[in-house]
């Protein structure tokens, strides 16, 4: 019994030893590839693997550095372009600011000069502005090709804004139209013209003397109402009334105040007093007696002298130093009673006298509205 047990134990130990050797052999055998074949296993150790790892690390770093260098170069180029554009933009802004500053300085200087000229301010600053302007214009005349234009603008102030009295003399011929607005009649002139001789007293005030002439014609339909007789009723109905001719001429003394001291555009207001001589008569002025109507025509003339007052407003517009145009509106009227002739008050002997006198007084005391245009000739 003991012998059987010993043999079983020995078999068991032998089997365990064979199994252990077999397992170790399997574990240490070469791996089988997926294709079912055995391949030789590469020989390696820790030092070699460490060296391989270090080499691969440096390769990866070189690749990374190359890619990084390319990206940095791209970013650098883009940054340089942005910097160049920004520099151009900054320089453009700087130039714009400089131009704006210069323009504002010129505008302020021009405004200050304009204020000095318009308000006639007497100060060192205003004198300097006026003086600098004259010097600058003279320099432009001496160095530029547009000398004639600059000379005109430089000399015009000396001609139009003199500092001493009677340095400037102007001849102003004019013509226009006048409307007489009376209490009953409203008549328009055929001719309204005149001429003036004017000189400066100061740079903004001038005085002058003028001659004026006006003429108008109208048909008389009211004679029968004023003569207290019915002589003209039938005549007027048949022939359409008799034509009356009115003429006046006069001398006036006036003054002008120029609102600004502009070199070209010179608006003004003014007033004047005048003495006038007016005459009126019927165009058909022959003594006549109509056997059909019994109408009697006289040969009277109505002559009168009267004073007048005038208010005016207008502007001189200078084209060159010595020539310009003048545009003016005026209102005038007779002052007081006219000094008319008193010949023949008898209606029988002078049937036209009363009508002529009444119509003449109507015209003389009417508000005469005038619009004139003329030339300005500077000596």
Give me the count of residues in the chain.
379
More confident residue, 223 or 330: 330
| Rounded CA separation 6/75 (Å) | 88
| Rounded CA separation 18/12 (Å) | 10
Task: Provide the pLDDT confidence category of residue 313 given band limits of 50, 70 and 90.
Answer: very high
Lowest-pLDDT range, 103-112, 160-169, 215-224, 353-362? 215-224
Task: Provide the pLDDT confidence category of residue 267 given band limits of 50, 70 and 90.
Answer: very high
pLDDT surpassing 90 at residue 78? no
Beta pairing, strands 205-220 & 191-200 = antiparallel
pTM: 0.54
Lowest-pLDDT range, 260-269, 286-295, 307-316? 286-295
Q: How many distinct helices (H) and strands (E) make up the chain?
A: 7, 11
The average pLDDT across 181-189 equals 90
Domains of the chain and any CATH numbers: 99-144 (no CATH), 160-378 (2.40.160.20)
Burial class for 204, CB neighbours closer than 10 Å (0-12, 13-18, 19+): middle
Tracing tokens 């008050």 back to the chain, one arrives at 345
pLDDT surpassing 90 at residue 295? no
Residue 162 in tokens: 């003199």
Beta pairing, strands 288-289 & 191-200 = unpaired
Coil vs helix vs strand at 57? helix
pLDDT at position 226 is 44
Q: Torsions phi, psi of 4, nearest 5?
A: -65, -45
- For residue 158, the tally of other CB atoms under 10 A from its CB is 14
pLDDT at position 265 is 93
Q: Across the strands, what pairs with 323?
A: 377
The average pLDDT across 213-241 equals 65
pLDDT for 42-75, tens place per residue? 555 677 788 888 888 878 877 887 888 888 888 8
The average pLDDT across 180-199 equals 93
When the pLDDT of each residue in the chain is averaged and rounded to a whole number, the result is 77
Residue 124 in tokens: 């060192």
The average pLDDT across 146-168 equals 58
Q: How many CA atoms lie within 13 A of 374 on its CB side?
A: 24
- Quote the percentage of the chain above a pLDDT of 70: 65
pLDDT surpassing 50 at residue 120? yes
The average pLDDT across 290-301 equals 63
pLDDT at position 371 is 97
The average pLDDT across 77-103 equals 78
Residue 368 CB contacts under 8 Å (≥ 6 apart), including other chains: 178, 179, 180, 181, 331, 332, 333
pLDDT at position 331 is 97
Instruction: Kindly compute the dihedral angle of the four CA atoms of residues 105, 107, 112, 118, in this order, to the nearest 10 degrees.
Output: 170
Helices of type H across the chain: 2-27, 46-119, 124-143, 147-160, 223-226, 231-239, 353-364
pLDDT at position 99 is 83
pLDDT for 314-362, tens place per residue? 999 999 989 999 999 999 999 877 766 555 445 555 667 777 888 888 9
Residue 307 CB contacts under 8 Å (≥ 6 apart), including other chains: 273, 274, 275, 276, 334, 335, 336
| Rounded CA separation 159/131 (Å) | 16
pLDDT at position 73 is 83
pLDDT at position 180 is 95
pLDDT for 30-40, tens place per residue? 555 555 555 55
Phi/psi zone of residue 38: left (φ > 0), alpha (ψ -120 to 50 degrees), beta? beta
Task: Provide the pLDDT confidence category of residue 207 given band limits of 50, 70 and 90.
Answer: very high
pLDDT surpassing 70 at residue 1? no
pLDDT for 302-312, tens place per residue? 889 999 999 99
Tracing tokens 């940095």 back to the chain, one arrives at 72
pLDDT at position 255 is 97
Task: Single out the residue of 119, 171, 121, 149 nearest to residue 322, CA to CA.
Answer: 171
Residue 297 in tokens: 């025509």
| Rounded CA separation 40/26 (Å) | 15
pLDDT at position 242 is 79
Asked whether the beta carbons of 325 and 176 are under 8 A apart, the reply is: no
pLDDT surpassing 60 at residue 156? no
| Rounded CA separation 259/269 (Å) | 8
Tracing tokens 């555009």 back to the chain, one arrives at 265
């Amino acid at each position: 019994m003991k012998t059987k047990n010993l043999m079983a134990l020995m078999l068991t130990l032998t089997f365990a030893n064979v199994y252990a050797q077999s397992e170790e052999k399997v574990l240490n055998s070469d791996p089988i590839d997926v294709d079912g074949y055995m391949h030789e296993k590469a020989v390696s150790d820790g030092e070699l693997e460490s060296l391989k790892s270090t080499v691969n690390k440096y390769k990866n770093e070189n690749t990374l550095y190359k890619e990084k260098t390319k990206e940095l170069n791209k970013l650098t180029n883009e940054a340089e372009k942005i910097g160049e554009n920004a520099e151009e933009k900054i320089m453009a802004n700087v130039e714009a600011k400089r131009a704006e500053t210069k323009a504002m300085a010129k505008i302020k200087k021009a405004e200050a000069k304009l204020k000095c000229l318009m308000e006639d301010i007497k100060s060192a600053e205003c004198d300097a502005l006026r003086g600098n302007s004259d010097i600058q214009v003279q320099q432009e005349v001496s160095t530029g090709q547009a000398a004639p234009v600059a000379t005109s603008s430089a000399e015009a102030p000396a001609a139009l804004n003199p500092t001493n009295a009677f340095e400037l003399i102007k001849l102003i011929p004019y013509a226009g139209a006048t409307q007489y607005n009376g209490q009953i009649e409203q008549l328009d002139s055929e001719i309204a013209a005149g001429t003036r001789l004017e000189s400066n007293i100061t740079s903004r005030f001038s005085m002058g003397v003028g001659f004026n002439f006006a003429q108008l014609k109208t048909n008389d339909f009211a004679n029968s109402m004023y003569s207290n007789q019915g002589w003209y009723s039938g005549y007027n109905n048949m022939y359409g009334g008799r034509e009356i001719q009115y003429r006046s001429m006069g001398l006036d003394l006036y003054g002008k105040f120029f609102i600004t001291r502009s070199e070209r555009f010179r608006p003004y207001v003014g007033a004047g007093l005048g003495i006038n001589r007016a005459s009126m008569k019927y165009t058909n002025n022959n003594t006549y007696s109509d056997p059909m109507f019994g109408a009697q025509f006289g040969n009277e003339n109505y002559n009168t002298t009267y004073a007048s007052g005038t208010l005016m407003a207008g502007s001189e517009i200078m084209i060159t130093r010595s020539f310009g145009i003048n545009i003016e509106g005026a209102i005038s009227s007779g002052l007081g009673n006219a000094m008319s002739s008193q010949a023949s008050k008898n209606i029988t002997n002078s049937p036209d006298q009363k009508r002529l006198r009444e119509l003449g007084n109507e015209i003389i005391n009417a508000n005469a509205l005038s619009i004139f245009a003329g030339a300005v000739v500077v000596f």
